Structure 1
Amino acid sequence: MASLKIKKGDTVRVISGADKNAEGKVKAVDPKNRKVTVEGVNMVKKHVKPNMANQAGGIVEEEAPIDISKVMLLVNGKATRVGFKMDGDKKVRYAKATGETID
C-alpha cells in the first residue's frame, strides 16, 4: 500500500462537500479506508446511552471521518498538493506549490 500524504497533526482545508473551505487539524487517519477525521468538520449528532463516563447520556456532537480526497494540506496558509522526494537517504514530503519540505 502506498503511504498517505496526510498525517495526524497536519492542518488541512476541506475542498469539497458541505464543509467546503473549513480548516482544521487532523485528529485521526484511517489508511485502510482512506478516511481522515478533522477537528470541527463533518459534525454529526450521536445518541449516547448513560454510562459511567457520561452519567446523563443524551445527544452528543462529534466529528465523523471524511474521505482523504476531500482535503488538501495547508502550508503557510495555502492549500497545496503533496509530493515525496529523497533528502539524502530519507524520504520526505514536500509542498508542490512552493517546493518547501514539510517534515
Structure 2
Amino acid sequence: MPGAEAMSASSSPRCSSPLIESIHKVVLVSDSGVGKSNLVVRFTKNKYMAHSVQTVGFEFTTKTIRVGDRRVKAQIWDTAGLERFQSLTAT
C-alpha cells in the first residue's frame, strides 16, 4: 500500500534510525572555576556562556551522538569542583 510504513514480523513499525546501543557516564572533575560547566553547555547545546553561575553539588545532562552507524548516549555529570569530589578521583 503506498505511503504505508513497512511492518516487521511482530507487526511493529520499523524505526528509520537505530536504537541507542550504549550509554556512557562522563564525570567532569577538576578545580572550581576552570570551565567544566561551559564545556558541558558547548557540547550539549552548542552555545557559549560568557558568564555562568557556579555549580553547587552537581548537574546532570545527556546527549545522544552518532558514532559511525551507532547511536551512543552520554550521561554527563558536571561536578562542583575537585575538592568536593575527591572520592571519585584516583589517588
TM-score by length of 1: 0.23
**Structure number having the greater strand percentage:** 1
| Greater RCO, CA 8 A, separation 6+ | 2
Larger Rg: 2
**Structure number having the greater helix percentage:** 2
